[in-house]
Structure 1
Amino acid sequence: MLATATASALVACSPSLARSDRTPDPEQEASVAPTRVAYGPEPQQFGELHRPDGRSRGTVVVVHGGFWQDRYDLRYGRPLAADLAARGWTAWNIEYRRVGGGGGWPTTFTDVAAAVDHLARLDVDTSAVVAVGHSAGGHLAVWAAGRGGLPEGAPGSDPVVELAAVVSQAGVLDLTAAADQGVGGTAALDLMGGTPEQHPDRYRLADPALAVPLGVPVVCVHSPADALVPIDQSRRYVDASTAAGGHARLVEVEGDHFAVIDPASPAWDGGRFVEVALSDRPD
């Protein structure tokens, strides 16, 4: 299923991930300060819980991107988390260990799993949790939605909190292709500790494209003009999921790689895609 939306054009970003002048400001503050909550003993095992002013519409996990690299942190999720809270959602903006800071396979994955599961210990609604992930965060969000299908004993298996839907924003959803094609340079190789040929078992557990169909809907929001993560990453995932009987759709937007995480952009559209993902759940 293909839908299109209109988004404002942003200044193109270089492959170095340097932000353009119109890239969302990671220092944007929420109108109500979030609460920092640790979900584990390591310094990067924490999240920021943004609560709405009044009754919550539900809970959204925000997973920031940055090609799984340590120098990009949860500040890049703050603008969306703040906007979601302003619109009535409870937003759990998570941090996790990344490549260069103790992350990689399997630590990055088990951290994300633990962060999602920690919602069960917080005073939040876990009846229909949605994950929103950008770029590498899109990969991790979709991976997390498939944890229930992982083999027993695999990293992140046996979820406590099941995700009800996912919004992937310019997500790296075909990890094997990303490694082979050099999406993000050596980012996928660094995450997985080598190539798909060297570690086929790892990629089988970590690659969303190899885990279709999921039992929950996935909305892939992506711009054809994205110069950092090609839209083919989302197109291939949606095609594979649909062919396998899954619930996935592609929403094409205008702008660059960062338009989707700009709260002022139509590519974010006030978080509308969270509602779209929830509405796509089968009856």
Structure 2
Amino acid sequence: MRTERYGPATDQVADLWLPDGDLPETGWPVVVLVHGGFWRHQYVRDLTEPLARDLARRGFAVWNVEYRRVPPPDRVIPDEDRGGWPNTLLDVAAAVDALADLDAPLDLTRVAVVGHSAGGHLALWLAGRSRLPAGAVGAAPRLVPTVAVGLAPVADLRRGERDGMGSGAMADLLGGASSDVPERWDLADPVQLVGHGVPVLLVHGEDDDSVPLAQSEAYAAAVTAVGDEVELLVDTCEHMAVIDPDEPLWQRAAAWLEQRCDAAPAHS
């Protein structure tokens, strides 16, 4: 594993994990991992490090992304290091686009974006970037993902706002309620960007009391309505179980990634 920088801000870094074993002729398929934590500053990419290790064993190169997050109101952070609108979205977009410039044997025709919770929001938003209007934050991607996986994702921001999810986390991210800055909510909401054509897997626990199953169900319904491909895996588990490599839901998600990206295990 090595840490690479994709921008000048403190948190514009990502860890690149490469598998052991024989290099495929076209390079390693790639998984971009985006951690959760309701976009708040105290949560960092070590949350998804166990998945990075598991995916590397399965034959994936892994790009475990850090990004600028929303600081608490009483914390003094330089403006260039503050997350929220638009920096959080700009960061994950830049991190994916930076794959094209890495000095590593990557197969950029096989790139999955995978995110958990608020990171699931960002992963699904990354899948929908091609739907953004010209000039919008994150528009004109250099690299379009092959597939996307939302692990207990925040997939419908306005529904989350109505449900009081995250104690105002969506408004903190976007700098105002949906009634105050509706254009930001439109551009940042994955459910508004369906029709992108990227196959999506949603993974959710029935016992999730942080991000309700209704979030994934709403996104799946929106994707189905426009005729794109989506699959929803549900089991009886809680919010953090979907990022535990030993849990059945993650193992099913990883197997789906292996199949879709034609990955081969790095170890026999």
Q: State the TM-score, normalizing by the size of structure 2.
A: 0.89
User: What is the CA-CA distance between 1:274 and the residue it aligns to?
Assistant: 1.6
User: What is the CA-CA distance between 1:135 and the residue it aligns to?
Assistant: 0.2
Letter in 2 for 1:40: G
2:31 is aligned to 60
**More moved, 178-187 vs 199-208:** 178-187
2:204 is aligned to 222
**More moved, 241-250 vs 51-60:** 51-60
User: What is the CA-CA distance between 1:278 and the residue it aligns to?
Assistant: 4.9
User: What is the CA-CA distance between 1:240 and the residue it aligns to?
Assistant: 1.2
Matched, 1:38 2:2: no
- Distance in structure 2 (CA, Å) of the matches to 1:267 and 1:148: 29
User: What is the CA-CA distance between 1:276 and the residue it aligns to?
Assistant: 5.4
2:246 is aligned to 264
1:121 is aligned to 101
- Distance in structure 2 (CA, Å) of the matches to 1:103 and 1:189: 13
Give the alignment partner of residue 47 of structure 2, picking from 55, 76, 96.
Answer: 76
- Distance in structure 2 (CA, Å) of the matches to 1:96 and 1:210: 23
- Per-residue CA deviation, residues 221-266 of structure 1 (Å, 9 max, x unaligned), is 0011101000000001101110111111111022110111001111
1:106 is aligned to 86
**More moved, 240-249 vs 67-76:** 240-249
Give the alignment partner of residue 139 of structure 1, picking from 116, 121, 124.
Answer: 121
Letter in 1 for 2:211: V
SS in 2 for 1:214: coil
Return structure 1 stretches of 4+ with deviation > 3 angstroms: 275-279
SS in 2 for 1:126: strand
- Distance in structure 2 (CA, Å) of the matches to 1:111 and 1:45: 7
Query: Is 1:214–1:247's contact at 8 Å kept on the other side of the alignment?
Result: no
Query: Is 1:174–1:207's contact at 8 Å kept on the other side of the alignment?
Result: yes
- Per-residue CA deviation, residues 139-170 of structure 1 (Å, 9 max, x unaligned), is 00010111111111101111111111101000
2:16 is aligned to 49
RMSD, matched Cα? 1.4
Letter in 1 for 2:9: E
2:77 is aligned to none
Letter in 2 for 1:273: W
1:7 is aligned to none
Residues 1:277 and 1:248: Cα distance change in structure 2 (over 3 Å): farther
Greater relative CO (CA pairs within 8 A, separation 6+): 1
Query: Is 2:18–2:62's contact at 8 Å kept on the other side of the alignment?
Result: yes
1:273 is aligned to 256
Letter in 1 for 2:231: R
User: What is the CA-CA distance between 1:277 and the residue it aligns to?
Assistant: 5.2
Query: Is 2:111–2:261's contact at 8 Å kept on the other side of the alignment?
Result: no
SS in 2 for 1:58: strand
1:95 is aligned to 66
SS in 2 for 1:53: coil
Letter in 2 for 1:157: A
- Distance in structure 2 (CA, Å) of the matches to 1:277 and 1:191: 32
More helix, by proportion: 2
Query: Is 1:50–1:92's contact at 8 Å kept on the other side of the alignment?
Result: yes
What is the number of equivalent residue pairs in this alignment? 246
- Distance in structure 2 (CA, Å) of the matches to 1:92 and 1:163: 13
SS in 1 for 2:258: helix
Query: Is 1:61–1:131's contact at 8 Å kept on the other side of the alignment?
Result: yes
Matched, 1:255 2:237: yes
- Distance in structure 2 (CA, Å) of the matches to 1:95 and 1:254: 29
Structure 1 unaligned regions, length at least 5: 1-33
- Distance in structure 1 (CA, Å) of the matches to 2:120 and 2:184: 18
Query: Is 2:50–2:244's contact at 8 Å kept on the other side of the alignment?
Result: yes
- Per-residue CA deviation, residues 91-133 of structure 1 (Å, 9 max, x unaligned), is 0000000001600011000000000000001122211200110
Q: State the TM-score, normalizing by the size of structure 1.
A: 0.84
Give the alignment partner of residue 155 of structure 1, picking from 133, 137, 154.
Answer: 137
Structure 2 unaligned regions, length at least 5: 72-80, 263-268
